[in-house]
Amino acid sequence: MTLRLLLDEIRFNIQRILDDLGYPTVGFDVSEASHSEFGDVSCNVGFLLAKPLKKKPSEIAESIANKYQKYKSAFIAEVNANSSGYLNFIVNYRGFIKSVMQSSVRQDYGKFDLGKNSKIVVEHTSVNPNKALHIGHVRNIVIGDTMARILSKACYDVSILNYVDDSGLQVADIIVGFRYGGFANEPPQNQKFDHYCGDVVYVSTTERYEKEPILAEKRTMVLKELEEGNSEIAKFGDIITRRVLEEQLKTCWRLGATYDCVNFESHIVRSRLWKTVLEKMKSMEIIYLENKGKNAGCWVIKSDSITEEDKVLIRSNGIATYIAKDIPYATWKLGILEDPFYYKQYIVQKNDRILWETTLENTGTKLNFTGDTVITVIDSRQSRLQKIITKIIHDFKSAEKSYVHLGYESVTLSSDTAKTLNLETEGKSVQMSGRKGIYVNADYVLDVLGARTYDEVKKRNPELDEPLLVEIAEQIAVGALRYAMIKQDLDKIITFDMTESLSLEGDTGPYIQYAYARSVRILEKSGKAPEFDVSFDALNTIYERNLVKIIGKFDIQVEDSAKNLSPKIIARYCYDLAVSFNSFYEHIKVLAAESPDIINARLCLVWSFKETLVKALSLLGIDAPHRM
């Protein structure tokens, strides 16, 4: 029994009573009571029936409460009607605590069958392969990876994709830099190749276009050759972008993200998929050939708004814009058209998860990475383009909500963190710009966080050996960064501060990890495994009951997070769980309790907390170290 199952039981019984009494069916709510005077669970059915029955809400609630007595299970102690009109339930903690405790130690605890094994695609990361990942990209990666983990817990069959734009303008920029801008193909010693491309080649090349028009002309030529794919330039571009991708993926793996398939944009452009979608859009009159004005000779999507310009899909020189390439990719993800690709193994990731890549060579394997629903994680600045794609997909498939844009706001740097880049911001946060070279590489952030954490962990745990210290420092660094990226609402801008993210106090990843480490230490000091097949009557303080109640909410949080595509819900749950445990830790004696039975019961609660928290943290992609 969990709180969700208890709410389901109450909801089912109330509906039976409404049927018995001949009351009309209404969409009533059963939820955890918002105030203690309403007991543990409350229902608003009395308010909803007041108008059709022409009775006071309290009278209706009273009639239902009286009828409920015969349906009352061992988990409900009292049912009563409050004078305000709410129907209230008081939990029988004796049975409820034991049920929650025993449920929480199961391997699949928190699992909720919302998806019924339906196929869902989550596309995230999808960073142009011309630079290293910066802290803004990390938010995308963490949102996408966390959402995929939560949807898997909710019993969806999830495929995770990473789209590689290897034929766009930004890739053309670094190719121009290497071939015509005088940059060496190899980075300076000890510099990662993706850092070199983004920090040096890309920034410097784009700065030179205005003063060196010949480079801008080369850019147009390179872009066309990348799309056609047969020239020596295109082959060189493939080598360069794959080298960048390799380094980007190392950062993603360090953050704990894994994928099922990398999809190369060049393969989409060169496949029959692009031509088929293009002709389909023409025949359905979704796109038009403009014959006048600044877009003359371009294929465009007409805007429905007088305040927004028409969107160009194909320029007058025949080069497709990136939204034009996104449309066939979206149709592929939903399986609307026949898959033109074969697949070959790119690499084996951690936990033996194979990463596949698309290929147009028929020597590969035929696989299926499509879904009934597609979630595309991309920042909110792309909202208009995503709306266009959503509308086109609906025109193609006519299925509501099959294509979902999961948008999020950008990440800025706090003034203190910006100073690490020698940027003077006058005490203000700063917006990042890859083109201007104003950003913090994700690798750099992880290195700094790890170094700071290492010193603190070593000071607290001098007996630990070097490899373990390094491992713990990395776990805390990754946990701090991932949590900072996921704890906010998606529509809120994040101002990232490295010092704040590492704090052991307040709403941070390390604070939650520290609560886990505390629980492990208690269990280690006890010297024995707790026995769960006992009575838990001794767990009767408010601190113990509150902790049990939060543990019992895990599957509700999974359900809410999956339904609302809101990873913050699980982050908040982890924080609330840690706060409740720390309150328990400060007020309740565990190993010095009055009797062996009470010691065992409290050790069970500590174990239950530990197991639940580690499962919840795993949904956030955060490890739980045993030492801090």
* Domains in the chain, number: 3
- For residue 418, the enclosing domain spans 413-501
Q: Given 91, 118, 146, which residue is the final one in a domain?
A: 91
Q: What CATH number does residue 34 fall under?
A: 3.30.1360.70
Could you tell me if residue 366 is inside a domain?
no
- Find the farthest-apart pair of alpha carbons in the chain and give their distance in angstroms, rounded: 88
Q: Are 421 and 471 within one domain?
A: yes
Residue 130 CA to residue 222 CA, distance in Å, equals 14
Q: What CATH number does residue 594 fall under?
A: 1.10.730.10
Q: Which residue has the tokens 């529509």?
A: 491
Residues 500, 503, 508, 511: what is their CA dihedral angle, to the nearest 10 degrees?
A: 180
Strand-pairing partners, residue 441, are 134
Three-state DSSP string of 123-134: ECCCCCCCCCCE
Are 484 and 568 in contact by the 8 Å Cβ rule? The answer is: no
Residue of 498 and 627 predicted with greater confidence: 627
State the pairing for strand pair 41-43/403-406: unpaired
Which residue, 70, 47, 76, is CA-closest to 59? Answer: 47
Q: How much is the pTM?
A: 0.93
Q: Are 538 and 486 within one domain?
A: no
- CA distances (Å), origin 156, targets 52, 117, 150, 319: 40, 5, 9, 38
Averaged over 529-558, what is the pLDDT?
95
Strand-pairing partners, residue 423, are none
| Residues 6 or more apart whose Cβ sits within 8 Å of residue 115 | 151, 154, 155, 156, 157, 562
User: Which of 81-85, 359-363, 601-605 is most confident?
Assistant: 601-605
pLDDT tens-digit profile of 203-219? 999 999 999 999 999 99
Q: Are 614 and 514 within one domain?
A: yes
Q: Are 582 and 601 within one domain?
A: yes
Averaged over 23-46, what is the pLDDT?
91
* Residue 513 φ then ψ, to 5°: -60, -35
Q: Are 605 and 521 within one domain?
A: yes
pLDDT tens-digit profile of 581-610? 999 999 999 999 999 999 999 999 999 999
Share of the chain above pLDDT 70, in %: 98
Which residue, 170, 190, 251, is CA-closest to 440? Answer: 251
Q: Given 37, 60, 91, which residue is the final one in a domain?
A: 91
Q: Are 605 and 515 within one domain?
A: yes
Q: Are 474 and 555 within one domain?
A: no
Could you tell me if residue 161 is inside a domain?
no
State the pairing for strand pair 76-81/119-123: unpaired
Provide the mean pLDDT of the chain: 93
Could you tell me if residue 271 is inside a domain?
no
Could you tell me if residue 127 is inside a domain?
no
Q: Are 20 and 61 within one domain?
A: yes
Q: Are 612 and 581 within one domain?
A: yes
Q: Given 40, 73, 91, which residue is the final one in a domain?
A: 91
pLDDT tens-digit profile of 333-354? 999 988 999 999 999 998 899 9
Handedness of CA 132, 134, 136, 138 (dihedral sign): positive
Residue 499 CA to residue 439 CA, distance in Å, equals 17
Handedness of CA 18, 23, 27, 30 (dihedral sign): negative
Are 258 and 621 in contact by the 8 Å Cβ rule? The answer is: no
pLDDT for residue 434 is more than 70: no
pLDDT for residue 493 is more than 70: yes
pLDDT tens-digit profile of 126-183? 999 999 999 999 999 999 999 999 999 999 999 999 999 999 899 999 999 999 999 9
pLDDT tens-digit profile of 257-310? 999 999 999 999 889 888 899 899 999 999 999 999 999 999 999 887 777 888
Q: Are 421 and 466 within one domain?
A: yes
pLDDT at 436: 65
Are 627 and 472 in contact by the 8 Å Cβ rule? The answer is: yes
Are 244 and 129 in contact by the 8 Å Cβ rule? The answer is: yes
